[in-house]
Amino acid sequence: MPSKNSSKSKKVGVVGVGSFGTAIANMLAEKNEVVVFARKEDVVEEINVAHTVSGRLLNPAIRATTDPAEICEQCDILFFMISSAGFVEVVRRFAPHLYPYHVIIHGTKGLALNLGRDESLESVQKIKRSQLLTMSEVILQETVAVRVGCLAGPNIAKELIAGHPAATVIASKYNEVILEGQKLLRSERFQVYGNSDIIGVELSGVLKNIIAIASGALAGLGLGENAKGLLISRGMVEMVHLSKALGGSVQSVMGLAGIGDLVTTCNSVDSRNFTVGFRLAKGERLDEILATMDEVAEGINTVRIVDAFIKTAGIRAPITENLHRVLFEDLPISDALQFLMKYPFSVDVDFV
C-alpha cells in the first residue's frame, strides 16, 4: 500500500460535476487546489480548456480527470457529489484506488438497496433495514475507507454558485472528518456545523425530499400557504418517526439537515423534487417529467424504497404511502390530498 505523502500539500478531490458538485468544487478552490472527476472525456476537456461545465463557470485553478487512480493518488480528501442512482457503481470503480488514509465526504441525498444477485425492489416488495443502505454505509461496505462523512443542509446549488449566504452540516463518527470539512469549506458566506449522528443527518436529507415533492404538488394545485404549513409540520413528524425506525436521532431531524433543508426545499422552485410535484399537479405524467430533467430528483426513488420499508416495519407514514400511490399507482393527487385531510391525526406532536 502506498504511504501517505505529507511532504507536500495535497489537492482536494471532487467526484461528480453536476450542479452541486460544481458549487462545492468552486468553494473548495477558494482555499485549495482542486481536482474533479468526470466520466466523459469531452466534459474533462471542457473543464480543462474552457473552465466551464454544462454552461456553469468553474474556478480556472480546477483541473479535471477521468482517471480514478489519478485523483485518489493526488488527493487524501475526496468529496463524492454524485446521484444515488450511480453512487454504488462509482464507489466500486474507485474502490481499488482507495486506502484507509483517505477521507471521504459525500453529498448524496439518497438510499441504495443491499439485495441478492437476482433480487430487485419489485421482486422483494418489502425490505428490512439491513437491506437498505445510506451512502456512507455503501462506502464502508464497498471500500477500505474508514473515515467517512456526509454533507447535508439547505444547499440549493444555484444559490451557492451565486455566492449567497448559506450553511451546511458535516456529519461523521470521526471528529477529524468534521474538522477537516469545516476547515476546507467554511467561509464568510458559508457556515459549516458538525454532527456525530451521520445516519440521522443522512436520513434527514433523504426523507425531506419526499415532503418536497408533496409540497410542489400543493403549489401546483394552488392550495395556498395554510396547506403548505400543514404539510411541512406533518411532514416533519413523519420524518422523525421514519428516521427513528431507520436508526437516526430526533435531534438531527430538528437541525439544519432536517427541518432547515425541509423548509428550504418545500419553498424553492429551484428544487428538483418540488418541480416534480408541481408538474404532476399540472397533469404531466412522471415519465414525461423525468425525460425532460437534466438531473435526478432523488425523492422519487426514496419514495419507492421507504414505502417498501414501511410495509416491513409495520409503521404508518401517510404522506409517503399516498405519494407512492400517486407516483406509481396512478392515484390522482387530489384524491391523495383528500385522504390526508381526513387522516385521523389526533395529536399534534407525539415524539417528545
233 assigned to a ligand binding site: no
329 assigned to a ligand binding site: no
272 assigned to a ligand binding site: yes
Give the chain as a 3 state SS string.
Answer: CCCCCCCCCCEEEEECCCHHHHHHHHHHCCCCCEEEECCCHHHHHHHHHHCEECCEECCCCCEEECCHHHHHHHEEEEEECCCHHHHHHHHHHHHHHCCCCCEEEECCCCEEECCCCCCCHHHHCCCCHHHEEEHHHHHHHHCCCCEEEEEECCCCHHHHHCCCCEEEEEEECCHHHHHHHHHHHCCCCEEEEEECCHHHHHHHHHHHHHHHHHHHHHHHHCCHHHHHHHHHHHHHHHHHHHHHHHCCCHHHHCCHHHHHHHHHHHCCCCCHHHHHHHHHHCCCCHHHHHHCCCCCCHHHHHHHHHHHHHHHHCCCCHHHHHHHHHHHCCCCHHHHHHHHHHCCCCCCCCCC
276 assigned to a ligand binding site: no
245 assigned to a ligand binding site: no
313 assigned to a ligand binding site: no
294 assigned to a ligand binding site: no
298 assigned to a ligand binding site: yes
39 assigned to a ligand binding site: yes
**Residue 8 annotated among the catalytic residues of the structure:** no
126 assigned to a ligand binding site: no
20 assigned to a ligand binding site: yes
Those residues with Cβ within 8 angstroms of residue 260's Cβ, 6 or more apart along the chain or in another chain? 153, 154, 167
10 assigned to a ligand binding site: no
Task: From the candidates 208, 228, 244, 282, give the one annotated as an active-site residue.
Answer: 208
* Annotation: binding site for NADPH: 19-20, 39-40, 109, 157, 272, 296, 298
Q: Which segments are annotated as binding site for sn-glycerol 3-phosphate?
A: 109, 153, 208, 261, 271-273
Active site residues: 208
